[in-house]
Amino acid sequence: MEDLYREIIVDRYKNPQHKGSLDPSDITFEDDNPLCGDHIRIDLRIDDEGKVTEAAFDGHGCAISQASADILVESIQGKNLEELKSLSKEDIIEMLGVELGPVRLKCALLSLKVLKAGVYGIDKASDDLVE
Amino acid sequence: MNNEEFDQVHIRADFPILNREIKPGVPLIYLDSAATSQKPTQVLQTMDVFNKNSYANIHRGIHTLAEEATLMYELARSKVGEFIGSPSSKQVIFTRNTTESINLVVQSWGRTNLSSGDVVILTEMEHHSNLVPWQMLAQEKGIRLEFIPVMENGLLDLDVYKDLIKLKPKAVGFTHMSNVLGTINPAKEIIQIAHSAGAITIVDAAQSVPHLPVNVSDLDADFLAFSGHKMCGPSGIGILYGKMDLLQSMPPFLGGGDMIKRVELTSFTPNELPFKFEAGTPAITEVIGLGAAIDYLNSIGMENIAEHEQEIVSYALERLVEVPGVQIYGPEATKKGAVISFSMSSAHPHDISQILDNEGIAIRAGHHCAMPLHEKLKLPASARASFYLYNTKEEVDHLAEALYSVLDIFGI
């Protein structure tokens, strides 16, 4: 328990560093976790070389979903779109540094799902994106 | 415990799962009975004995097992009918769950009797199971859905209902007891008002039948739906009660075996009630298990169960309001069943639930299949503790204490 709610997760949840919106943005996508009502929107600004210059998230939900969004958004600054496409479930688990059961994993992966759906430019975020 | 007839120690001993530890030294505290209840040994054994001795398909073979199985299955139907005060067991239809029971009414009665512009009144506190089936029919037929609002105090606004009734609705559907707020709605009054306008009524009794004495004849309900798994019975079995004339006039819902009297290549004659609505092999063992669950509840007495739960929920409300940052939704204790939905200012319901799980406490977190109600409450989700006959005040104490662990992690 102490592990799951390590200081970094609770701190990121209560004091997110990258929460807000970018207007205008080059890529915006949002989605919900229907199980619990977690909601995440991610805005990206992309430069001519296809690199992320700015990224922000907004939303509401549990500590795991919101902290992982904050950490994810921080980690993608300066990355190009191809690098974003290759992000995986394992990357998120590593960034969070905690073990998650199947239900909480969905919370943790919501932001990655939103990010990848936005980068791929598809209509609907699918769990396949983060398998 | 003031309720002298209520032997908590023996009741708890009937539920083997309550001996479970969630991890070494941390016993299970099960506070999620509004989602599904646990099963006593009496139910588990009845199903086990039936499977080992008498299992066969029903209403078909002429052999000893088939006859035993059919007798036991139909005996369970009689028990259900008596339990809810149905004039005849022919008015008790077995389905998979409350959701299927409501879909049966909407698809059979609704599709036959409703047309474009007809009004159906529901409430803002419906579970998705008494909302989405109507929305599906509304999209197809152009019927108009109107909603009785939920007031700040967690009760339905019956003044608005009395205005809505002037629209001459064809049907009024409502939950007898809210699975989120715990509100026990004045079913008899709602039904009387509906009948005065010529509307039929559909009562979602999934949360009420397991916890309160419910009598369909006294309520004068036209349809009433509930599930076995919330009343100490197994999952996979639901019940639809309906008035005889309505059920007789309705077309079948699902087609197949058992629901027919006679079949030719291009036509069929439906079977009589209740079989007309029971296509295919049903959940035989589960129906028999439900019969045992009803015997069990009767042996304790629904009045006693309701009284016990009233004590528990009153106590739980007292304990929970003491916890800083806790906000509770729904009416005062005397107007609600044993369901408490709450939120905490610092922690999301999912996180509350996770932290409580660490202390062996099972609660529900989410929108509890009532998203429109959560919109109304301006909540993305809530945490819900729900209680049943096996829960104790000591468990409530553990819950209250565990909420302080949430504060330790997330602050106030």
Give me the total of CB pairs closer than 8 Å, taking one residue from chain A and one from chain B: 48
Catalogue the active-site residues of B: 369
Q: Which residues of B touch A14 (CB under 8 A)?
A: 346, 410-411
Residue type, A35: L
Rounded to whole angstroms, the Cα distance separating B339 from B336 reads: 7
Fold match between domain B8-37+302-410 and domain B45-299? no
CATH of the domain spanning B8-37+302-410: 3.90.1150.10
Residue A65: name the closest of A105, A21, A118, A99 by CA. Answer: A105
* Chain segment B286-343, per-residue pLDDT in tens: 999 999 999 999 999 999 999 999 999 999 999 999 999 999 999 999 999 999 999 9
First CA to last CA distance, chain B: 33
**Coil vs helix vs strand at A122:** coil
Instruction: Tell me which residues of chain A, numbers 51 to 90, contact chain B at a CB-CB cutoff of 8 Å.
Output: 60-64
pLDDT of B3 above 60 = no
On average, the pLDDT of chain B sits at: 96
Residue B292's pLDDT is what? 98
Q: Does B176 contact chain A (CB < 8 Å)?
A: no
Three-class SS of B153-165: CCCECHHHHHHHH
Residue of B nearest to A64 (CA): B351
Domain ranges in chain B are 8-37+302-410, 45-299
Find the range with the poorest average confidence among B219-228, B276-285, B370-379, B384-393: B370-379
Residues B386-393 have a mean pLDDT of: 98
Interface test with A, best of B180, B341, B345, B350 (most A CBs within 10 A): B350
Q: Which residues of B touch A10 (CB under 8 A)?
A: 409-410
Among the partner residues A14, A36, A39, nearest to B350 by beta-carbon distance: A36
Rounded to whole angstroms, the Cα distance separating B396 from B388 reads: 12
Contact A36 B358 (CB under 8 A): no
pLDDT of A74 above 70 = yes
Q: How far is A33 from chain B (nearest CA, A)?
A: 10
B154: phi > 0 → left, psi -120 to 50 → alpha, else beta; which?
left
Q: Does B381 contact chain A (CB < 8 Å)?
A: yes
Q: Which domains does chain A have, with CATH numbers?
A: 7-130 (3.90.1010.10)
Residues ≥6 apart with Cβ < 8 Å to B260? B268, B269, B270, B271
Contact B350 A39 (CB under 8 A): no
Q: How far is B348 from chain A (nearest CA, A)?
A: 5
Match 């639809």 to its residue by tokens.
Answer: B240
Rounded to whole angstroms, the Cα distance separating A105 from B213 reads: 41
Residues ≥6 apart with Cβ < 8 Å to B284? B55, B57, B58, B69, B73
| Continuous segment of H or E residues that includes residue B230 | none
Backbone angles phi, psi at B113, to 5 degrees: -105, -10
Rounded to whole angstroms, the Cα distance separating B366 from B277 reads: 34
What are the residue ranges of helices labelled H in B168-219?
Answer: 187-196, 216-219
Whether domain B45-299 has CATH 3.40.640.10? yes
Contact A104 B354 (CB under 8 A): yes
B203 within 8 A of B172, measured Cβ to Cβ: no
B306 within 8 A of B365, measured Cβ to Cβ: no
Backbone angles phi, psi at B57, to 5 degrees: -75, 155
Write the DSSP symbol of residue B252: P
* Chain segment A41-58, per-residue pLDDT in tens: 999 999 999 999 999 999
Residue B1's pLDDT is what? 44
